[in-house]
Structure 1
Amino acid sequence: MFFLKHLVNHISHFFIIKIIIMCALLPTLAHAVIADNNFPNCKANLAERAEKLGFSSYITQTVIAGISPIEQVISFDKKQPEFTQTFEQYIKARVTSYHVRVGKEKLKQHKKLFDALEEKYGVPRQYLVSFWGLETVYGKHKGKMSILNALATLACDERRSAFFTQELLNLFTLIETKQVTTEQLQGSWAGAMGHMQFMPSSFLKYGIDGDNDGKIDLWTSEVDALTTAAHYLNKIGWQTKERWGREIKLPESFAFDKVGFDQYYPLSYFQELGITKTNNQPLPNYDIQAELYLPSGHRGPAFLLYPNFNVIMQWNLSKSYGLSVGILANKLVGAKGLAFLPKGQTNVKPYSLAKMKNLQNQLNALAFELGKPDGIWGPKSRRAIRLFQIQHQLIADGYPNDDVFSTVNSVINKGQVIP
């Protein structure tokens, strides 16, 4: 007993913090659901959970007692632009001349820092600046919403309670270990914080004191924020000297039925199918896996996505976001941007979540099973739409265009529904 007490007295404060962090990130917390439509009941569930996990009375009584719901948060969560805008609308709002101009200034301003980060973490500087620009417009819009209240609101909502409950508990750990104060906890409606909009779990696991001032400050220290971002991308699998992907050109008579979406093929396979660079030059003879992605269907731009794109997707699961990161990064180092868009719009109109959800219901009824309808054009929906298109002699681009909506309605009206 004396030995244990003596040992504890000599454990560094830093080591104690690391122990607490490790405990806070235990997988069991993933099941710590506290959802309840009655917010006071939800707060009681949260306080009980926090007490069982060993948080102090400051957390279980003072902090939790001060939490209140934000009704706007649920509305924002249901209307994310990644799911309500066309790719062209999304990209034009986020890869602007301002983003490029200020991003290039940031590359010059932090040249020494980026030199060091590239050497240590292997992540090219243009990607770090691209994430920075897309997340907060280089710190201009870091968010002014209470992170505590936002996370609590989302944790009490049944749809994604497990995820946001764990993020809230991780935030309690940051407060408990004095890495943040409740006064500075302002950020996005989803609970993301600072220049790079990290969630509490990422702060805990990947946060770095880049300027060596004894604390990790993701709000006011650009050095800490950028260093943390480089560390994060390195740890989740960024492949040094590999690009994210490229815009490509499909041949006039491209065999859409030869390529499944959301799956990888050798780059050489796409060469065989006649795909070229946008300048009509052949694709490189390079041993890498690639995925074909058509964000607006066959009428819009086309891309081959490489493994680093999956790393970008771990930051944000939207492919439109991932493409924005890659395209802005390219422009920051001199590329011209998309070859397709200057030629004009694709005339692809945004579809509502309700319309997409109805299409998913119809495809399920026609035995093109894609799971529970959610109104989101994801991998299962792309696969189901593609199979429907192949069966009905439509261009099999996996995109919910007008031809798909009208043909599905026609088939349903003719009574060709699986009982």
Structure 2
Amino acid sequence: MPSGASTPNGLPADLRPVPNPAYDAWVASFRERAVAQGITRPTLDVAFRGAGYLPGVVTRDRNQTEFSRSLEDYLAIAASDERVQKGRAALARHRGTLTALEDRYGVDARIITAIWGLESFYGERRGEVPVISATSTLAFDGRRGQFFEQQLIAALRIVQNGDIPAAQLTGSWAGAMGHTQFIPTSYQQFAVDYTGDGRRDIWSDDPSDALASAAAYLQRNGWQRGLGWGGESPNGSLQPQAGGPRFATTANFRVIKRYNNSDAYAIGVGHLSDRIGGAGPLRTPFPPDANGLTKTDRISLQQRLTARGFDTQGADGVIGSNTETAIRAYQSSRGLPVTGTPSQALLQSLR
């Protein structure tokens, strides 16, 4: 089965365990280190039953820094119309819980909702990769071996403490878990049993524990009650994309970065929270991209390609692999050089 093809349980084939004797030997040696740190042998037996080496985890770890989006593209995804609409609905649906969390932790309910939206699309994308397999694969691989061994130990403690059965301990390919995508060590430090059932359950359909955990994380990292994150400002000192909007930020902006140390992420959370609260889009337009196209041009290009039968899988103005594939197919059909690169000339040829 080709890499990326789906298996019956919905995971890509490369995220299913494959035989790897070197990984097996590493696990055998790791088990002794885990026991020395208080993990019981029965916990290890249960946790590693069915676990294994996931080649796709290593591939994704190697490739994750190869493509860096502009702020304009990032915000087109992070604060898309769909994400804003779903965020407003989620805030309304869980207003009682979110308001209570705002009272308890001082974190704006819209900020909590925005983090939920960015991390898991309001719970729709919590991740299905077994965390024990993912973290053990990355610990064995060694690029960030010590970090992921710490995550693996923390994941085993979660199982040992009875928060969730090992078979249900799932998350992203890098081990981030649940509605708010906590890594295992963050879970150990900050997760909250908000519902009072004795389990800090960030995985279930009920997001209460996960939302409380995100609020607790921000509060314990210095969130200041009543202070906004910042916002667009002509005199702001932060301009992540040359020629684009400027932002003035507060101490709470830096707290958001403790969740994910990225200016784009923190702006995405702040801007999405504003949009969920009823604010409009950013006022300052972004300049044309390196290919001379504005966002309006890119949307038009996607719409025209799709209308011609070269489906870009959406028209959001973000040029990703689907759009590049459609461009190549169109170029090939017209006998043009096949580059997959958008341009004004390409746009004009589609009129």
Q: What is the TM-score when the length of structure 2 is the normalising length?
A: 0.72
Task: Give the corresponding residue for 1:312.
Answer: 256
Task: Give the corresponding residue for 1:283.
Answer: none
**Contact 2:232–2:282 under 8 Å retained in 1:** yes
**Residue identity matched to 1:306:** T
Task: Give the corresponding residue for 1:295.
Answer: 240
- The answer to whether structure 1 residue 228 and structure 2 residue 213 are counterparts is yes
- The answer to whether structure 1 residue 238 and structure 2 residue 223 are counterparts is yes
- The answer to whether structure 1 residue 142 and structure 2 residue 87 are counterparts is no
Deviation at 1:37, TM superposition (A): 10
SS at match of 2:233: strand
Q: Show CA shifts across 1:59-100 (max 9, x none).
A: 344434643111111222233379522221111122111111
Q: Please point out which of 159, 163, 184 is paired with 2:168.
A: 184
Q: After the TM superposition, which of the residue ranges 324-333 and 210-219 deviates more from structure 2?
A: 210-219
**Residue identity matched to 1:322:** A
Q: Please point out which of 179, 182, 206 is paired with 2:190.
A: 206
Task: Give the corresponding residue for 2:289.
Answer: 347
Q: Please point out which of 232, 252, 272 is paired with 1:247.
A: 232
Q: For residues 18-417 of structure 1, what are the structure 2 equivalents within 5 Å?
A: 38-64=22-48, 66-80=50-64, 84-220=68-204, 221-249=206-234, 275=235, 292-297=237-242, 299-341=243-285, 344-348=286-290
**Contact 1:117–1:230 under 8 Å retained in 2:** yes
CA distance in structure 1 between the partners assigned to 2:290 and 2:109 by the alignment: 34
**Contact 2:171–2:178 under 8 Å retained in 1:** yes
Equivalenced residues, count: 271
Q: After the TM superposition, which of the residue ranges 231-240 and 39-48 deviates more from structure 2?
A: 39-48
Deviation at 1:146, TM superposition (A): 1.2
Deviation at 1:225, TM superposition (A): 1.2
**Residue identity matched to 1:317:** N
Provide closer, same or farther for how the CA distance between residues 83 and 235 of structure 1 changes in structure 2, counting only shifts above 3 A: farther
CA distance in structure 2 between the partners assigned to 1:156 and 1:346 by the alignment: 44
CA distance in structure 2 between the partners assigned to 1:92 and 1:242 by the alignment: 26
SS at match of 1:322: helix
**Residue identity matched to 2:241:** S
**Residue identity matched to 1:246:** G
SS at match of 2:143: helix
Task: Give the corresponding residue for 1:22.
Answer: none
CA distance in structure 2 between the partners assigned to 1:317 and 1:85 by the alignment: 15
Q: Give the unaligned 5+ runs of structure 2.
A: 1-19, 292-351
SS at match of 2:231: strand
Provide closer, same or farther for how the CA distance between residues 83 and 304 of structure 1 changes in structure 2, counting only shifts above 3 A: farther
Provide closer, same or farther for how the CA distance between residues 121 and 235 of structure 1 changes in structure 2, counting only shifts above 3 A: same
Q: Show CA shifts across 1:330-370 (max 9, x none).
A: 111121121123xx544147xxxxxxxxxxxxxxxxxxxxx
Provide closer, same or farther for how the CA distance between residues 131 and 82 of structure 1 changes in structure 2, counting only shifts above 3 A: farther
**Contact 1:37–1:156 under 8 Å retained in 2:** no
Deviation at 1:311, TM superposition (A): 0.9
Task: Give the corresponding residue for 1:361.
Answer: none
CA distance in structure 1 between the partners assigned to 2:263 and 2:56 by the alignment: 25
Q: Give the unaligned 5+ runs of structure 1.
A: 1-35, 250-274, 277-291, 350-419
Deviation at 1:216, TM superposition (A): 1.9
**Contact 1:90–1:320 under 8 Å retained in 2:** yes
CA distance in structure 1 between the partners assigned to 2:203 and 2:49 by the alignment: 25
**Contact 1:37–1:157 under 8 Å retained in 2:** no
Deviation at 1:301, TM superposition (A): 2.1
Deviation at 1:174, TM superposition (A): 0.9
CA distance in structure 2 between the partners assigned to 1:247 and 1:83 by the alignment: 26
SS at match of 1:238: coil
Q: In angstroms, what is the RMSD of aligned CA positions?
A: 2.1
Deviation at 1:294, TM superposition (A): 2.1
Provide closer, same or farther for how the CA distance between residues 234 and 348 of structure 1 changes in structure 2, counting only shifts above 3 A: farther
**Contact 1:193–1:218 under 8 Å retained in 2:** yes
CA distance in structure 2 between the partners assigned to 1:120 and 1:313 by the alignment: 21
